[in-house]
Amino acid sequence: MQRGNLDPSTIEAFGLEWSRFDQRELNDKELRRIFDNYFCVFPWRLLPSGGGVGADIGCGSGRWSRFVAPRCAHLHLVDASARAVGVARSNLRGSNNVSFHVASIDRLPFRNNSLDFAFSIGVLHHVPDTAAAIDALAHKLKPGAPLLVYLYYAMENRPRWYRMVWRTTDLLRSLVSRMPGRARNLICDSLAAGVYLPLARTAAMLRRRGLEPAHWPLRQYAEASFYVMRNDALDRFGTPLERRFTRLQIEGMLTAAGLEQVQFSDAPPYWCAVGIKAVAKLPLPENSIH
């Protein structure tokens, strides 16, 4: 019987993914470029002196925490997969201001109103109730603290044919994600080599000539390494539970969780969004003039 806001099969799949792709083969320059794409809207200026205390929710291999930890006083890395936390612990073994927790989003090991910031990149669309997950995380933030999230987008900014292609790939995901590990890995590697790589390198060639179409599939991988393509193919097709949201839906969930000043990145990947936890307003005195 499932308990909590989590999907056991998805947690297992990610534990295996991060064990296979622990990011050690990825050079810092490429990883930093991807990090900057996700964090381009994050308001670093709002963090307290010294960076404060933050949390990486769904840390996976810890690849983003590598860049965040040096900018804060302490960073908590949280993941529902013990295997993933083990990979993250190994990758950040040189950092002395981090701690690791195996926990689900609805059982976070923090007091309410205790975090100066938090981020969750590519995670909360893989839980049964994304809105409840955002709400649970918002409770842990101090008033005025920022939360950065990246959720898979519903492709509402894409043409109809593009969305139809995605529906086909989603049917494939539902099949591949249920396969045994070796078969799943083989198919995802084949997709990376036979689909991701040729489309991405063609996009790169067209880009250099100024001919790249705006909706060319997988154009975001034009400059990516084959390692990233293999990792992302497994991430995309090997995950049993996946949800997608429109920009308006994401804004609605953030607002309902008590976050304001919601800002989106208008560049890929869609949708990266940041919201600031509202500061509670004190009631006016009874004899005040208003």
The string of pLDDT tens digits covering residues 246-268 is 999 999 999 999 999 999 999 88
- pLDDT score, position 4: 86
What's the pLDDT band for 283 if we cut at 50, 70, 90?
A: low
Average pLDDT over residues 134-149: 98
Percent of the chain predicted with pLDDT > 70: 96
pLDDT on residue 286: 53
CA nearest neighbour of 95 among 71, 117, 119, 78: 71
Contact 216, 195 (CB under 8 A): no
Cβ distance 96 to 76 under 8 Å?
A: no
The mean pLDDT value for 199-226 works out to 96
Claim to verify: residue 101 and residue 196 sit in the same structural domain? no
**Residues contacting residue 58 through CB under 8 Å, at least 6 positions apart:** 78, 79, 80, 105, 120, 121, 122, 123, 124, 126
* Confidence (pLDDT) at 74: 98
Report the pLDDT value the prediction gives residue 171, as an integer from 0 to 100.
Answer: 96
94 & 22 share domain = yes
Q: Do residues 110 and 75 make contact, with C-beta atoms less than 8 angstroms apart?
A: no
Regarding pTM above 0.75, the answer is yes
Q: What is the predicted pLDDT for the residue at 290?
A: 39
User: What CATH number has the domain bearing residue 120?
Assistant: 3.40.50.150
Same domain, 171 and 147: no
Res 284 pLDDT > 60: no
Confidence of residue 280 (pLDDT cuts 50, 70, 90): confident
Are residues 192 and 265 located together in one domain of the fold?
Answer: no
Is residue 129 located within the same domain as residue 89?
yes
Provide the pLDDT for residue 289: 45
Dihedral (Cα; 125, 131, 134, 135), 10-degree rounding: -160
CA distance 75 to 40: 19
Examine residue 290 and state whether it is found in any structural domain, yes or no.
no
Residue 2 in any domain: the answer is no
> What confidence score (pLDDT) does residue 70 get?
97
Instruction: Say whether both 84 and 146 belong to one domain.
Output: yes
The whole-number pLDDT of residue 248 equals 98
The answer on pLDDT for 281 being more than 60 is: no
Which two tokens mark 188? Answer: 């995802």
Residue 146, domain extent: 8-154+244-277
Q: Stretch 40-52: mean pLDDT, rounded?
A: 96
Task: Report yes or no on 285 lying in a domain.
Answer: no
Mean pLDDT value of segment 58-68 = 97
Mean pLDDT along residues 34-53: 96
Answer for the pair 105, 124: CB distance below 8 angstroms, yes or no.
yes
Q: Does 40 share its domain with 98? A: yes
Residues 89 and 175 in one domain: no
261 and 191 share a domain?
no
Q: Which residues pair with 74 in a beta bridge?
A: 53
Assess if residue 3 is contained within a domain.
no
Q: Is 284 among the domain residues?
A: no
Domain membership of residue 70 (yes or no) is: yes
203 and 98 in a single domain? The answer is no
Average pLDDT over all residues of the chain: 94
Same domain, 21 and 146: yes
Residues 17 and 38 in one domain: yes
Number of compact structural domains in the chain = 2
In a domain, 150, yes or no: yes
Calculate mean pLDDT across residues 6-28: 95
